[in-house]
Structures are given as structure tokens and as C-alpha cells.
Amino acid sequence: MCGITGFIEWNRDLTSDLDLVLSMTSCLENRGPDAQGTWISGPIAFGHRRLSVMDPENGAQPMVIYEGDAVFSIVYNGEIYNAPELRVELQRRGVSFRTHCDTEVLLQAYIQWGPDCISRLNGIFAFAVWDSVRNHVFFARDRLGVKPLFYSQISGTFIFGSEPKSILKHPKFEPVIGPEGLAEIFVIGPARTPGHGVYQNMNELKPGHAMIWSRSGLRSYAYWKLEAEPHGDNVEETASNIRKLLQDTMDRQLISDVPVCTLLSGGLDSSALTALAVDYYKRTGQGQMHTYSVDYVDNDKHFKAHSYQPGADAPWIKRMVEELGTEHHWITIDTPELVESLPDSTIARDLPGMVDVDSSLLLFCREIKKGATVAISGEAADEVFGGYPWFHREELLGAGTFPWSIATDLRASLLSPEVRDWISPEKYVAKRYSEAVNEAPKLEGESEAAARMRVMSYLNITRFMPTLLDRKDRMSMGAGLEVRVPFCDHRLVQYVWNVPWEIKSTGDREKGILRKALEGILPEDVLYRKKSPYPKTHNPGYLHAVKEQMLQILDNPASPILPLIDSAKIRAIAASPESSSHLPWFGQLMSGPQLFAYLTQVNHWLIKYQVAIR
């Protein structure tokens, strides 16, 4: 994976702006620690940081191809998993290749088919192509939004980057937050409304979208979206098709010129991918698969089972390591490390995020990076197959709001009266929820119950999943580690989205159809283990540490967060036993401790990024 950035000014020659391009590019170094490149031609300035995965010797970017008088230049972040097939097809059309990397395949695909090339791609990607024939810059982002792409238009300048930090380096861009940005931070966050960049004048290209920046302005359009279609396969056929799609996806995503590992939690999703990876390595004679897991110091002493976290992972990890014969690496994180890395995880996102859920992943990825460059992760299976509790609990299904963030009233109560009046938190969330529900494609003739589950699936794929993909991308790339997410293969997502709920929940179990598809691949006890989310610390020391940090912020009259929040309300929560219980803050993993940690991240972000509010 890599980091891309650049800017375009049609009425200027940018040759003299090399230092600016270098500055915008250098701040993405963690995304691409192996090399840096820039390319400036007239009004176009591109920058690239490279993490070498395929053809390390010849895949430098920006890559430029000359076809007579025509010039095509690309900066690209991602992996094209069907690059071998595309290469063969392009060679049949007379194209000669000078490298073995997918960057050249992608650029040649664009030269041959123009913007329509994206419909042929299977992969995760965000890229920009300067096309001197059409006299425009073409941008595209993968169908599920695994790879990010932010942009801004200011006074005739178009600025883009893999992360906001590169856009913030441009002197024309100011870090300003208005009422919508505050609403995104305080009542939607750590999720974001699709396309919303939070900062004023910053957007993110939506998943499955492309855009063209030309002298006549910006045009953005969807090239892919989920389609509601009848599902004609029975349970056995559905399970068989899912298994075939998953195996094909894994075979594609395990191709690499650098070491690959898997993240293993002992749960259904990671165990399945690890089993498929081990099988692939055996078939291709690549030796032993390395696996990694994360845990926390003294978690065994403090863990208490509850509905969202029914059991500890360690025994199941050992079970799978013994079953598959992997070379396993146990990574253990201590509470002080979690607290100390909260600022680092904020900088990795350029925004407040999932606090210790982020920082633990950042620390985990730093350790993995010492032994591998590419990791396979089970992200997105719960959204695609319906694994979360809110798919199965009537009070959450019928909540009338985003089920992972049901306490809008609690969130609103933490804000100062002036901010509440300014951003209207309840109205903002209701509007965003209504937009999402109305956007979901409908299937004619579907029952009310089936339609409700279709909408719930759509909400999870388009509103909740991006939060976890953001987390995975920023924290892994913050450590220079490429993470691949096979459950985000668009063919699999589209197919499963149309599977009726009674088939998805085969056996009256969450993700029942996935379990059935994996029969014979996993041991039965692992196959039917109760779902458990990403592990978090249960050490009461974490709550104490983040609570104390928050109280220090409240005691400091210079803290920039103070005008935005109701300090008395937060002090009351800190003094209450509620703060250590399961306050409904966000998702399965963010409750009382995470509330305090999130607010400390907001304060740090306001200071570090010198954010103005107006």
C-alpha cells in the first residue's frame, strides 16, 4: 500500500512548487516507508510514498507512460487482485509491459479503456491519472471504500490526498470546523457520514465512486452500488457459492513478493481466513504461515463475560494454532502503552477515533511490521453476514436510529447549550439516518420483515463498516503495514447482500450461512463458537487513567474543548459508578472508559491541528 497526494491548478505552471509537493508527500511517510516520488508537469503536481509489495525494483511512482504526444501519469494506492488476468488481456491487445507490478497494469488499463477501466478491476484502490488526451485528471476509489481518498476545491485549486494531513499541508487549506463538522465529531463519530471530510471544504470520495477534474470543473459519479436482486439459490447452493467466492478471493489476495501473515483471534472469521491461507501455502509450497494475535496485560484477571464479549480468545487461538500448525506470535499490550498512544492514533486518523480500539491496533501493527509487510484480516464479515447483536435484537432493529449508536440523547447532553443549539444533534442524526434508510435499494414484492433486514444490512455495509475500514487502514498504514480484507470482495458482498435473512441465519445462528459454507474447513467447535469482537482491555487502570486525563483537561481553563462541552455533566459521569459500566457510547467496544478517552482525543486534536471553529 501507499500514500498519494497532489494538487492541480489549471492556470499555473507548478514547476516552482516542488517543495510544497514534497511537504505534502513526506507527511504520508508511514503509509509508504520504502520510497518517495514526485512528478510535476504544467498544472499537475503528484506525490507518492511507496510501500513495496509487488515488483519492488520497478514499481516506482508516480508512473508515467508516453504514447506519442500523449502523456499519462498515475499515483495509486492499493492492490489490483485480478492484475494477472488484465495483463494477459492487455498483452493480447498489443500492450508491452516493462514491470511486473499492478501499477503498470492499472495505468495501461486506463490508457486502453479510459475511465471505464474501473468496471474491470477487482481490488482495493484509490488513484489519480493525468490524461493529456482528455485533458483531465481521473480519480477512482474501490467499491467498498477500503482505501481512502480525500479532496478539496479552494479558489481554483484542487487538492487531494490519502489522508487529510496531506491536504492540511497546502497553504490554501485551513483546518476549520463548522456546525456539520461538530455534529460529525460529537454525535456521529467515530463514524462519518459517507463523503464527509469533517473539516470545512474537505470531502472524501465515496466508495464505488469516480470523479473527473477538468477545466470545466468537477464531476463525480457512482460506478458501482449494491443492487437488490432476487436470490434463487437454496441453502446448499448458497453455502457452496460463498465458499467458492471466498476461496477464490483468498487465492488472489495471498499473492505477494513480500512476507504475508494473518491476524488470528480464534473467532470464525479470522480462523476461516487463516485455514484458507494455510491451505494455499501448502498447495503452492510456500512453507509455514505466520499468525498474530493481540491481548492485554492482566486481561485474564479482569475479564468478565457479557453479551457483547461472551468469552476470552486465548484458548481458541491456541486451538487453531495447534490445528493449523502456524508459527504464532503473541503480542501483549500494557495499559500505559494504550494511554500513551492515544495521541498517535489521533494523528494517524487526523481526527478523534475509536480511542483504545485504535491505539491497540496501531501498537499491534507496529509489532507485526517487524516480521511481515502484508497481513490478512477478517474485517467486514459481521456487516456482510449479519453477525452483530443489532441484527438479532428487536429493540435495536426497531431503534429508529443507527443501532450501534443509540444514545444520541446522552451524547447531546455532553455538549454545551450553545453547541446543542447550533448543531441540533438529534435532528442531525435523524436526518443522516433517514438519508441512509431511503438510499437502500428495495426489492419489489419483498415482505416487510425481509425489507427491514435488507435495510439493516445496507446500513451496516455503508455506514458502520467504513468506520472499521478507516480504523484498519489508518492504524495499519500508520505502521507501514498493508492489511487485506477478503470479506470486502465486491462479488462476495453483492451476492451475500441479496441472500434472504432466513438463509443467512441458517441453523438459527448469527452468520449461519457462513458457518455452513466453512464446514470441513474449520473444526466444529470453532465453527460454532459464539461471536466475540476485537479484544479490548478490561483493566480498570485504563478507566482510571483516561478519567484522570479528562479531569485534568476540565481543570485547565485553556483547554479548547471546554466551550464545546458541559463540564458539569462530564464531572458527574466521572464521579458515578456508571462510568465503569456499559454506557452506550458506540458499537460493542466503546462505553464509559472510551467516552473519556474520546473527549481527550478531541481536545488533543483541537490543539495539535490548531482547529478553528466557525
At 471-515, the pLDDT tens digits run 999 999 999 999 999 999 999 999 999 999 999 999 999 999 999
Computed over every residue of the chain, the mean pLDDT equals: 94
At 132-145, the pLDDT tens digits run 999 999 999 999 99
Residues linked to residue 203 through DSSP beta bridges, in sequence order: 151, 196
Query: pLDDT at position 194, please?
Result: 97
* N- to C-terminal Cα separation, the chain: 36
Q: Which three cell numbers stand for residue 263?
A: 491476524
What count of Cα atoms within 13 Å lies in the side-chain half-sphere of residue 37? 20
Residues 600 and 554 sit within 8 Å (Cβ to Cβ): no
Query: pLDDT at position 310, please?
Result: 55
Q: Which three cell numbers stand for residue 262?
A: 494473518
Residue 508 Ramachandran class (φ > 0 left, ψ -120 to 50 alpha, else beta):
left
Q: How far is CA 493 from the centre of its chain?
A: 16
| Statement: residue 544 has pLDDT above 70 | yes
Higher pLDDT among residues 566 and 533, named by residue = 566
At 163-175, the pLDDT tens digits run 999 999 999 999 9
pLDDT average, residue stretch 522-532: 87
**Please, which pLDDT band fits residue 548 given cuts at 50, 70 and 90?**
very high
Residue with the three cell numbers 467496544: 589
**Please, which pLDDT band fits residue 590 given cuts at 50, 70 and 90?**
confident
Query: pLDDT at position 62, please?
Result: 96
d(CA 505, CA 426): 33
| Statement: residue 561 has pLDDT above 70 | yes
Alpha helical stretches, state H, 293-380: 299-302, 314-324, 335-340, 342-349, 356-369
| Statement: residue 42 has pLDDT above 90 | yes
SS3 call for 138: strand
Residues 381 and 514 sit within 8 Å (Cβ to Cβ): yes
Can you give 456-499 as a three-state secondary structure string?
A: HHHHHHHHHHHHHHHHHHHHHHCCCCEEECHHHCHHHHHHHHCC
Other beta carbons less than 10 A from residue 97's beta carbon: 13
When mean pLDDT is compared across 209-213, 255-259, 337-341, 568-572, the lowest value belongs to 255-259
pLDDT average, residue stretch 335-348: 95
**Please, which pLDDT band fits residue 351 given cuts at 50, 70 and 90?**
very high
At 109-164, the pLDDT tens digits run 999 999 999 999 999 999 999 999 999 999 999 999 999 999 999 999 999 999 99
Whole-model pTM? 0.96
**Please, which pLDDT band fits residue 19 given cuts at 50, 70 and 90?**
very high
Residues 191 and 464 sit within 8 Å (Cβ to Cβ): yes
**Please, which pLDDT band fits residue 585 given cuts at 50, 70 and 90?**
confident
d(CA 13, CA 33): 29
**Please, which pLDDT band fits residue 29 given cuts at 50, 70 and 90?**
very high
| Statement: residue 532 has pLDDT above 80 | no
At 169-199, the pLDDT tens digits run 999 999 999 999 999 999 999 999 999 999 9
CB neighbours of 508 closer than 8 A, spacing ≥ 6? Answer: none
Query: pLDDT at position 484, please?
Result: 96
Positions marked catalytic = 2
